[in-house]
């Protein structure tokens, strides 16, 4: 089965809420304008994906366990992950395993985030970043990869020390996820990373527009020849003995 990664460039237009539970919509009225926009648009996109790929007309109930990682209340439904970067919203969805998505606007990170990232770069990561033609873009892409895995595990930034990346060899090691795979890409403005455990099979990318629905993008793992020079895939190293 394929997993799906859909992007939606947001506008000021109000989203179509017909697939959302009225109680969920009412909850969002207490949020700030920015949080409300992201909250509702994210769930609208997730609902549209569930309808398009699985034929489920209304967004199933979502719960937030103690680890803070949202999921469907029905454990038999697909796993999902939401991310935001600037005015772009992303949702990753898969019926197999667990998923984590992160997106970042390059050059938009705060000094605190950059300091946190630099503190947790291994020597191998630092060397790889230095060798790239665009070190800031490369560092942002590594941060994206790291965050996608930490979102998958539910640890967030508290788990930064559980993960080591080896970008030069396309490998990674997580002390809490023995089997995880990540794909990532970036351009001069935007970076994204999609993680899945235990394995990442065929991933299909989509663009969503409210008027026309979903359109498939050519950049998929199944067609690596159309990917950019920044495309990366990292696989778990074998467990240490």
Rounded (10°) CA dihedral 147, 152, 154, 159: -40
Closest CA to 50 of 88, 9, 4, 96: 4
Answer yes or no: are the C-beta atoms of 185 and 227 closer than 8 Å: yes
- Give the per-residue pLDDT at 207: 96
- Give the per-residue pLDDT at 141: 94
- Give the per-residue pLDDT at 241: 47
Q: Is 173 helix (H, G, I), strand (E, B) or coil?
A: strand
Q: What is the pTM of this model?
A: 0.90
Burial class (CB in 10 A: 0-12, 13-18, 19+), 238: exposed
Rounded (10°) CA dihedral 129, 133, 139, 144: -120
- Give the per-residue pLDDT at 225: 42
Q: Could you tell me the CA-to-CA distances from 98 to 45, 118, 205, 216 in Å, in that order? A: 19, 27, 17, 22
Residue spans of the chain under pLDDT 70: 1, 108-117, 219-227, 239-241
- Give the per-residue pLDDT at 80: 98
- Give the per-residue pLDDT at 180: 95
- Give the per-residue pLDDT at 113: 64
- Give the per-residue pLDDT at 230: 87
- Give the per-residue pLDDT at 177: 87
- Give the per-residue pLDDT at 222: 46
- Give the per-residue pLDDT at 7: 97
Class of domain 3-236: alpha beta
Closest CA to 40 of 16, 4, 7: 16
């Amino acid at each position: 089965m394929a997993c799906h990664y859909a992007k939606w460039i947001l506008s000021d237009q109000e989203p179509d809420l017909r697939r959302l539970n009225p109680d969920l919509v009412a909850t969002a009225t207490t949020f700030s304008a920015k949080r409300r926009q992201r909250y509702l648009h994210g769930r609208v996109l997730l609902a549209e994906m569930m309808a398009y790929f699985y034929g489920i007309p209304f967004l199933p109930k979502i719960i937030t366990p103690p680890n803070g990682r949202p999921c469907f209340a029905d454990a038999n439904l697909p796993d999902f992950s939401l991310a935001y970067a600037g005015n772009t919203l992303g949702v990753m969805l898969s019926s197999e395993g667990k998923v984590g998505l992160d997106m970042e606007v390059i050059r938009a990170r705060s000094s605190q985030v950059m300091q946190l990232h630099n503190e947790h770069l291994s020597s191998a990561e630092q060397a790889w970043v230095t060798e790239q033609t665009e070190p800031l873009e490369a560092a942002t892409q590594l941060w994206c990869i790291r965050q996608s895995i930490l979102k998958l595990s539910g640890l967030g930034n508290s788990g930064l020390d559980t993960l080591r990346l080896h970008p030069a060899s396309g490998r990674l090691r997580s002390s809490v996820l023995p089997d995880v795979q990540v794909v990532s890409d970036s351009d001069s403005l935007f970076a994204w990373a999609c993680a899945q455990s235990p394995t990442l099979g065929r991933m299909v990318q989509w663009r969503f527009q409210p008027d026309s629905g979903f359109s498939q993008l050519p950049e998929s793992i199944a067609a690596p020849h159309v990917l950019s020079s920044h495309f990366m895939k990292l696989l778990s190293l074998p467990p240490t003995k």
